[in-house]
Amino acid sequence: MDFASSLEFWARSAPERIAVANVHEELTFLELALRAQAFSQQLQDVEEARVGICTSDPVTMAVGFFASVLADKSLAILDPAWPSELFLRLSQQLGVRSVISEVPLAEETGSLMVQLDPPKVRPDNPLLPLTQHLASRELLVICTSGSTGLPKAIVRTQDSWQQSIHAGAALLGAVPSAVTICPGPVSHGLSLYALVESIVTGGTMIATGRFNLSSLIELAELYACTRLVSVPTIIDRVCREVQHSSLASLRTVVSGGEPLQQDTVDRLFSLPSVESCVEYYGSSEHSLIAYRHRHAREEPGKTFKGTLFPGVEVHIHDQSPNAGFGSLFVDSPFIATGYDAGTAVQIDRCGTSTGIGDQGRISHRGQLELQGRGGSMFNIHGNNIHPKEITLAFGEIGLPGVRVDAEVRDGRTLLVAYAVLGHAALEELADQLARKLPTYKIPHELVLLSSWPTTASGKSLVHGYRNYEELVVKRVALR
């Protein structure tokens, strides 16, 4: 079924079932359908084809998403963590003049935008038949971390996500009986997809909107969550910091973004009821690509090796003659249209296939093995972070040549910037970076070195700077 038909089906067949909830509010399927129906009438009055949404609230996101579907509007996802300068720049680039938000927009942006707040409705209002628009229409613009210093705006059709959910939901445990908890940022692709997937399949989505451990524990206990969807760094923290009794109902764990560490998998299977751990590989540009099941006390190797989702085909460009790795190109009904025409970035194409720099190879059994992405990217607490984006921001404020690394300290993954001692005004760095980058992309610390460490052959090191304490001149806390 299409999105509108799915929402109407569950609103009529299971009206009292909880569709989405956060710490402060919950909506049944009937309440969600009624609120989306009422809000869609307001969205139809917006002149522009695109409407923005800027929220950390999963309830607002659910209402805004389905209201935009019913109103035949494309929904541009704007990250609440963006600084005002970036928010305005992206909004203007995408042609967005009206923004859905349940909280007031920042003063410097609010005067240039029309704010839309989803209305409350009476539960006894009549639910009218929900109208579905063309499947080929533009559904979403999702902005993901880019290596150019500006997020990449990815455009996708409604049909691409409908087919992706249809192909992957059962494999990922998204079934009507599932009570899914998703503790990551709801404005990011993985959490947003999980939200829509859960509602469309008739399950219950419980979300914190952004990572908050106490909220996660409260919700997991209150709703007896059976399914966890997140990224490895957050899943690992859940395993380490949440008591087993709070996760007594958890049966299925779904992980995306990068491979889980084996000790995290072992901890998952030590929980009372966990039966399945599914790890999947995908991207905002391609949606679902491949998946694998993880098991306790296994030796999975250092790379991801998985089975392609139904409907996905891949091929390799520039394959190395020895190892067989090369540039991965993906073709499926799930792939995005491309990047927004207002950006200078173009997606790599080969016929109907597209590539984004992932390196992979195909085994003789037809499995996909991934080596990583050209131009390294970090995934920290559910946030994809391109080091180049941070390097460019430092350069713009007078400290060029900064190198960025992700380091684990006392069990926490920190973003650390390194530079050779320069002449930048260090006391102003944090404020200047806050005007350039979202908070989660600002390094926790800047470490100034007397010189770059080198290898025995004299080449400059790319990573591992923390091992050269003798070169450290000064440490500057940035957040």
Superfamily of domain 3-373: ANL, N-terminal domain (3.40.50.12780)
**pLDDT tens for residues 230-271?**
988 889 989 988 999 999 999 999 999 788 989 999 999 999
Evaluate if residue 68 carries a pLDDT over 60.
yes
CA dist., res. 131 & res. 109, Å (int): 33
| Mean of the per-residue pLDDT values of the chain | 89
Evaluate if residue 458 carries a pLDDT over 60.
no
**pLDDT tens for residues 461-474?**
666 788 788 888 88
> Residue 155's beta-bridge partner residues?
141, 338
Band of the pLDDT at 111, cuts 50, 70, 90?
Answer: low
Q: List, as one string, the DSSP characters of 348-399.
A: EEETTEEE-SEEEEE-TTS-EEEEEESS--EEETTEEE-HHHHHHHHHHTT-
CA dist., res. 343 & res. 93, Å (int): 8
- Nearest Cα residue to 12 out of 165, 202, 170, 206: 202
Centre a 10 Å sphere on the Cβ of residue 421 and count the other Cβ atoms it contains: 11
Comparing 11-20, 144-153, 179-188, 407-416, the range with the smallest average pLDDT is 144-153
HEC readout, 188-243 = CHHHHHHHHHHHHCCCEEEECCCCCHHHHHHHHHHHCCCEEEECHHHHHHHHHHCC
Evaluate if residue 78 carries a pLDDT over 70.
yes
Per-residue pLDDT at 282 = 93
| Separation of CA 2 from chain center | 23
φ/ψ of residue 116, rounded to 5: -115, 125
Evaluate if residue 149 carries a pLDDT over 70.
no
Which amino acid type is present at position 84?
A: S
Per-residue pLDDT at 457 = 44
Q: How far from 284 is each of 6, 45, 192, 261, 356, CA to CA, in Å?
A: 23, 29, 11, 23, 10
Band of the pLDDT at 375, cuts 50, 70, 90?
Answer: very low
Per-residue pLDDT at 462 = 63
> Residue 2's beta-bridge partner residues?
none
Higher pLDDT, 380 or 153: 153
Q: List, as one string, the DSSP characters of 310-361.
A: TT-EEEEES--TTT--EEEEEE-TT---EE-TTSS---EEETTEEE-SEEEE
| Separation of CA 330 from chain center | 19
* 175 Cβ contact partners less than 8 Å away, ≥ 6 residues apart: 169, 201, 202, 203
Per-residue pLDDT at 56 = 94
**Mean pLDDT (whole number) for 288-292:** 97
43: left (phi over 0), alpha (psi -120 to 50) or beta: alpha
Per-residue pLDDT at 373 = 56
> Residue 261's beta-bridge partner residues?
none
| Separation of CA 157 from chain center | 18
Evaluate if residue 114 carries a pLDDT over 70.
yes
Band of the pLDDT at 460, cuts 50, 70, 90?
Answer: low
In the DSSP assignment, the letter for residue 426 is: G
Centre a 10 Å sphere on the Cβ of residue 399 and count the other Cβ atoms it contains: 23
**Domain map (residue ranges) of the chain:** 3-373, 386-477
Per-residue pLDDT at 113 = 82
Evaluate if residue 371 carries a pLDDT over 90.
no
Per-residue pLDDT at 454 = 66
* 142 Cβ contact partners less than 8 Å away, ≥ 6 residues apart: 77, 153, 154, 156, 189, 192, 284
CA dist., res. 227 & res. 16, Å (int): 20
> Residue 100's beta-bridge partner residues?
53, 116
**pLDDT tens for residues 388-439?**
788 888 888 888 888 888 887 776 788 999 988 765 667 788 888 988 898 8
CATH number of 386-477: 3.30.300.30
In the DSSP assignment, the letter for residue 295 is: -
CB 143 within 8 A of CB 79: yes
Per-residue pLDDT at 252 = 98
Per-residue pLDDT at 428 = 82
CA dist., res. 440 & res. 426, Å (int): 20
Higher pLDDT, 239 or 364: 239
**Mean pLDDT (whole number) for 307-336:** 92
In 69-168, where do the E strands start and end? 74-77, 98-100, 114-116, 138-144, 152-157
Calculate Rg over the CA atoms of the chain: 23
CA dist., res. 397 & res. 410, Å (int): 31
**pLDDT tens for residues 169-228?**
999 999 999 999 999 889 989 999 999 999 999 999 999 988 888 999 999 999 999 999
